[in-house]
Amino acid sequence: MTVEHDPPAVPHDPDPRPTADVAPAPERRFSGLRERLTRIGGARGASSISRVRSSLPVRCLRRFGAINGRDRALVMGGQAFTAIIPLLIVLSAAVAGQGPTAIADRVANRFHVSGPSAQAIRTLFERPPGATGTLTVAGLVVLVFSVLSLTRSLQRTYEAAWQLPAMGVRGTLNAVTAIGLLISSLLVLSLLVGLLRQAPAGSVLGFVLRVVVNTAVWLLLQRLLLSRRIPIRRLLPGSFVIAAGSAVLTLYSALWMPRLIENNSERYGIIGITFAMLTWLILIGFLMVAAAVLSAELGGARTVERGVPQPDDPDAEAVRG
């Protein structure tokens, strides 16, 4: 008589874990964390994680990661560098009648540097004594393409943050108008703040003026970058926060940039000035992306998740006008 035996039981792992080459999705991680907190702390733990996830800083971080904010910031910083250097060279040629170091002196005064650091800036942007002519076609072409590339990157960042499709040629024209508005406002605001410094409490008045003017400027700027598809009332909270942040950045740059320029010029010479400017522009690039993300969250833009094609991605469906 044959005795049949049951097949050996396969051990079951009660807590299976993903393999090393397959990373869990963000939503899966949050779901697992919520389940563990629920087991440990009950409903109070689940409520805590829900409040954290719905908080403004966490939502901004998630949106920043979903639109690849780091890569966008680095790209914009590099594009701003390739746009500003040709712009300064063209301006040096345009104002050659005021002296070979006219632009270099203004850059040194803008960053509050003196001594060897200011001399390094003059050497970098000084017009050669024997140079003739003003503007070159090659310089203008490089400048135009650099500015257009920076403009499109900034516009695509705002469209991705707000989950809007690109608008084609009409959107590009709006973006160019926005950049022109931004440059004009910076020049006018610098002149006004310079005049206010002579008055009593000029620094305080200058700070208030920057916040008020920049709020209006960024309201119109975002409106143009988004091709007038978002109501102004939804853009107003972000515009005010961006304006206050830009005023704080101006004060911080006045304290941080002189030290950075002096240290880099002492270590690396003239090339250190370009390193300092590139670092400053990359920082501004990160702040520009953060401004777009914060404005989208304050304006009630729909939720965006990592892994979902963005409006400017090739795989996303774009409605072009």
* Segment 130-150, tens digit of pLDDT: 555 555 677 677 778 888 889
Residues in the chain: 321
In single-letter form, the type of residue at position 87 comes to L
Question: Which tens digits make up the pLDDT trace of 94-109?
Answer: 666 666 677 777 777 7
Task: Tell me, yes or no, whether 304 lies in a domain.
Answer: no
How many Å apart are CA 61 and CA 105, to the nearest integer? Answer: 40
Lowest mean pLDDT among 130-134, 220-224, 250-254, 310-314: 310-314
The better pLDDT of the pair 319, 26 is held by 26
How many Å apart are CA 21 and CA 230, to the nearest integer? Answer: 41
Token digits for 256? 């941080």
Residue with the two structure tokens 């000035």: 273
How many Å apart are CA 202 and CA 208, to the nearest integer? Answer: 10
- Per DSSP (E only), the strands in the chain are none
Q: 11-20, 34-43, 135-144, 217-226 — which one is most confidently predicted on average?
A: 217-226
Q: What total of structural domains would you count in the chain? A: 1
Task: Tell me, yes or no, whether 269 lies in a domain.
Answer: yes
Task: Tell me, yes or no, whether 16 lies in a domain.
Answer: no
Task: Tell me, yes or no, whether 168 lies in a domain.
Answer: yes
Task: Tell me, yes or no, whether 52 lies in a domain.
Answer: no
The better pLDDT of the pair 13, 289 is held by 289
Does pLDDT of 18 surpass 60?
A: no
Task: Tell me, yes or no, whether 196 lies in a domain.
Answer: yes
Task: Tell me, yes or no, whether 319 lies in a domain.
Answer: no
**Contact between 186 and 202 (Cβ < 8 Å):** no
Q: How far is CA 294 from the centre of its chain?
A: 11
- The upper half-sphere exposure of residue 99, i.e. CA atoms within 13 Å in the direction of its Cβ, equals 7
Task: Tell me, yes or no, whether 223 lies in a domain.
Answer: yes
Q: What is the dihedral of CA 220, 225, 228, 234, to 10 degrees?
A: -70
How many Å apart are CA 135 and CA 91, to the nearest integer? Answer: 9
**What range defines the domain where residue 186 resides?**
57-298
Per the prediction, the chain carries an average pLDDT of 77
pTM of the full predicted structure? 0.75
Residue with the two structure tokens 């003003």: 134
Question: Which tens digits make up the pLDDT trace of 146-188?
Answer: 888 899 999 999 999 999 998 888 888 998 898 888 888 888 8
